[in-house]
Amino acid sequence: MAPATADNKETSARKQKAWRAPRTWRVPQQRLQGPHVPGRRVNYSANWPDRPDEESSTHAEERPKGTDGQDGQAEAAENVEETEGSVDKTKLVALARQRLRYLQDAYTIGKAVEAMLKKEGKFDEALQLTRMASKDHKVVVSWNRLIDYQMRQQRLTGAMKLFNEMKKRAQLPNAQTYTTIFRGCAASQHANQAVFQATRLYHAMLASERIKPNTMHMNAVLTVCSRAKDIDSLFSIVNTADQHTRRPDNLTYTIVLNGLRYATVQPGQQPDIKSADGDDEVHVDKESVTTTIGRARAVWEEVIKNWRQGLVVLDEELVCAMGRVLRMGSREDNNDILSLVQQTMGIQRPDRLAVPAVDAPKGQGEVEQNRQPGSKTTSDMEVRTVAAMATEPEIATAATSVQLPVRISQFDPPPGIAALSVQRDSRRTVYVRPGANTLSLILMSISSTRKTSLAASYWNILTGHPYNVVPDSENWYQLLRTLRRGHASSKMVELIAQMPSEYMNHTTFQLAMATCAADNLNEHAFSNAGKVLDLMSKTLLEPDAMAMRLYLQTALTSNRRYRDTLRQEADNPLAREKAKLAFGRQLVRALTRLWDPLRLASNAVGFSANWPTPVASAQDDESGSNEKAIYNKKRELAAVARMMVSAADMVVTEVMADEATIKDLRISRNLLNRQIGRFYERREDAEPNLHAGRKRQEGARRTRKERVE
């Protein structure tokens, strides 16, 4: 071993005296000043003094604030997070590098990214894989998958950042990239930001020479503007359409019409609100509705023009979109829906089966006066095409000979088209095939215009050959509501017998009974109500209390023929007695038929059991809601029982039946009366607000009386 020299001793002494800064004072690499040059070794201790005395004087201000207390703990936590983040990033890089060893082309890389995105928490790994693969491959599909994932997660800003990063990495977006972004913007919850991003990107595509927007891109941007109710941006995008790559199609016009409709509805107003009669009505500003319908009619003129030229294929969705816009308008606009259906689907209006005198050219209207005897009439003509009519003046003249209301709607057929009969030449015109949506639109139009007698006709036309439309549950209930508005109890009974049993519920029979109760001028209203009651007893395990009340109301109000007899036979006591007994038999029959349904409904809710939990003490949970529903059912049954007691008292008091029947009615009446008494005995405990409401009414009545005095 070499002996220690003086130089060695001096060196070791210097090392022992050297001072090193504490660990907590060391500045991380990210905080060093000056640019970091790759490949250059940095001396991280150069920023710190070599002796303690210099540290206290020269570098006192450069000491980090986190040397002690909470600041030091926070700084240490940040350092730990940065270390963990760097470790995670290093792990992601290693995993991506390992995957790329087995992924040799863009297709397999795209499949790997798609598989990772289907797993939760694999987005960062898929992003790192795509970034590393972008150095050697064109992985535009993988970037599209990442952008679509961000859009589905409602991260619009993150998706646009990926789009910009994609271009920076020399991955040129394709048509699918823009479609993905536009569709994501349409589904975004941030409507204003989505419109801004979509329109900006669309106009950038228009100015680009590499890729131009097509019809699919235009429709996607229109969807974004439509959902955001931005009509100005909507029509600015529509103006970019051309006759080449951006030719408007049926989806384009459907989006525009739906956008006009939803932009008209103000905040807090829904487009299909149920009215008191159960019909769909639209509550919007009349001026905006007029403007919207005017725009929609202008759009429809272009649609029909392109359709007749074979440039656009109509479908049911487009026709119904136009019809829904007309639904917001006046009665005339709703009436035009039937003409719209005739124009696009070839279904002749039942209220205009005769040939209308429509827009006859100048001079043709005078031919009827000079028509020679023996000339052909409309019924003698053969079915010809429109082109044949244009070349044969005789046919065109006869088509305008019938004097009916003049055409006033843009949806009415061209001159002489009705003379072609309902048979149409399918080689020249392809009509739209109606479906359940069309049936619903027609029924709503009929209900709004009060032409309810056409409901059964349209129903039979669409559900029969050749259309064979299968009605859904909404179609059936719309039909019932339409017949309810028209008081058509006989048609109601006829059609409800064809209704599938899975669509029947309590609302079905309530509407049917309400129709019979409203049709009290019809002599067969009570018999129709009896048929509905029989169907309800066979279908429902628990008869509906409201339907039973309406059935009894029908029996009480369907007395027109008896009142006419009493008025016409005022001097004939025998005839008056027969009419009174006939009305009594009707009431007795109604009471007798209601006894079993009332018993079944009472047993279903345990009416005669102990009193349930008061509604006021029920909590807002499932059990409380169940108790409230049971209590409401008992209230309805009590109302039915009270009405039955009233009808029985009428028969007994007016002696409208024989003695044996009156004796049985008294017994039944007493049983019902005791049941009603048990219900109302503790009603104030279940409804504490009832007593307070009575006090308020008495106080208001007393105040009004004092003011009068």
User: What's domain 83-236's architecture?
Assistant: Alpha Horseshoe (1.25)
Output 83 or 186, whichever has higher pLDDT: 186
* 506-518 and 545-557 helices, crossing angle to 10°: 10
Output 224 or 684, whichever has higher pLDDT: 224
Confidence of residue 608 (pLDDT cuts 50, 70, 90): very low
Handedness of CA 59, 63, 68, 70 (dihedral sign): positive
Q: Which residues pair with 273 in a beta bridge?
A: 281
For position 693, what pLDDT does the model report? 62
Confidence of residue 660 (pLDDT cuts 50, 70, 90): very high
Q: Which residue has the tokens 């019932």?
A: 480
Q: 281-285, 290-294, 421-425, 570-574: which has the minimum mean pLDDT?
A: 421-425
For position 34, what pLDDT does the model report? 44
Query: What is the rounded radius of gyration, in angstroms, for the C-alpha atoms of the chain?
Result: 41
For position 539, what pLDDT does the model report? 92
Q: 242-256, 482-496, 596-610, 619-633: which has the minimum mean pLDDT?
A: 619-633
Residue type, 47: N
Residue type, 616: A
Output 571 or 515, whichever has higher pLDDT: 515
Spell out the SS3 assignment of 253-308: HHHHHHHHHHHHCCCCCCCCEECCCCCEECCCCHHHHHHHHHHHHHHHHHHHHHHH
Residue whose C-alpha is closest to residue 547's, from 472, 614, 496, 494: 496
Residue type, 157: T
Q: Are strands 273-274 and 280-281 parallel, antiparallel or unpaired?
A: antiparallel
Best-predicted range by mean pLDDT among 587-591, 600-604, 692-696?
A: 587-591
Confidence of residue 284 (pLDDT cuts 50, 70, 90): low
For position 403, what pLDDT does the model report? 38
- In angstroms, the CA 219 to CA 517 distance is 50
For position 286, what pLDDT does the model report? 81
pLDDT at 283 over 60: no
For position 219, what pLDDT does the model report? 93
Output 366 or 191, whichever has higher pLDDT: 191
SS3 state of residue 68: coil
Q: What percent of the chain has pLDDT over 70?
A: 71
pLDDT at 276 over 50: no
Q: 137-146, 318-327, 597-606, 687-696: which has the minimum mean pLDDT?
A: 687-696
- In angstroms, the CA 570 to CA 477 distance is 45
110 Cβ partners below 8 Å, 6+ apart? 139, 141, 142, 145
- In angstroms, the CA 123 to CA 156 distance is 16
pLDDT at 112 over 70: yes
For position 627, what pLDDT does the model report? 78
pTM of the model: 0.70
For position 184, what pLDDT does the model report? 92
Output 597 or 370, whichever has higher pLDDT: 597
Six-digit token pair at 632?
Answer: 């409401």
Q: Kindly state the greatest CA–CA separation across the chain.
A: 156
- The model's pLDDT over 60-79, given as tens digits with 9 standing for 90+, comes to 444 444 444 444 444 444 44
- The model's pLDDT over 408-452, given as tens digits with 9 standing for 90+, comes to 567 776 554 443 333 444 444 588 999 999 999 999 999 999 999
- The separation between the first and the last C-alpha atoms of the chain, rounded to the nearest angstrom, is 131
Q: What is the average pLDDT across 621-648?
A: 82
Q: Which residue has the tokens 């029996």?
A: 555
Confidence of residue 706 (pLDDT cuts 50, 70, 90): confident
Q: Which residue has the tokens 């039946």?
A: 657
pLDDT at 36 over 50: no
Confidence of residue 155 (pLDDT cuts 50, 70, 90): very high
Residue whose C-alpha is closest to residue 674's, from 612, 604, 602, 626: 602
Phi, psi (deg, nearest 5) at residue 662: -65, -40
Output 522 or 281, whichever has higher pLDDT: 522
386 Cβ partners below 8 Å, 6+ apart? 414, 416, 417, 420, 428
Best-predicted range by mean pLDDT among 48-52, 61-65, 277-281?
A: 277-281
Q: What percent of the chain has pLDDT over 90?
A: 45
Confidence of residue 633 (pLDDT cuts 50, 70, 90): confident
- In angstroms, the CA 632 to CA 635 distance is 5
Q: 9-18, 138-147, 569-578: which has the minimum mean pLDDT?
A: 9-18
Confidence of residue 33 (pLDDT cuts 50, 70, 90): very low
Q: What share of the chain is helix, strand, coil (3-state, %, to 5)?
A: 65, 0, 35
- In angstroms, the CA 278 to CA 274 distance is 5
Confidence of residue 690 (pLDDT cuts 50, 70, 90): low
Six-digit token pair at 53?
Answer: 């005395």
Residue type, 147: I
Q: What is the average pLDDT across 583-593?
A: 93
For position 4, what pLDDT does the model report? 52
- The model's pLDDT over 310-336, given as tens digits with 9 standing for 90+, comes to 889 999 999 999 999 999 988 999 999
CB-CB contact of 516 with 554 (8 Å):
yes
For position 386, what pLDDT does the model report? 28
Residue whose C-alpha is closest to residue 217's, from 263, 192, 181, 257: 181
pLDDT at 588 over 90: yes
For position 100, what pLDDT does the model report? 86
CB-CB contact of 323 with 441 (8 Å):
yes
Distances (CA, A) of 445 to 185, 469, 646: 35, 18, 40
- The model's pLDDT over 484-510, given as tens digits with 9 standing for 90+, comes to 999 999 999 999 999 999 999 999 999
For position 94, what pLDDT does the model report? 87
Q: How many residues does the chain have?
A: 709
pLDDT at 87 over 90: no
Confidence of residue 574 (pLDDT cuts 50, 70, 90): confident
Phi, psi (deg, nearest 5) at residue 122: -105, 10
Q: 12-16, 211-215, 467-471, 523-527: which has the minimum mean pLDDT?
A: 12-16
pLDDT at 45 over 70: no
Residue whose C-alpha is closest to residue 109's, from 90, 129, 89: 129
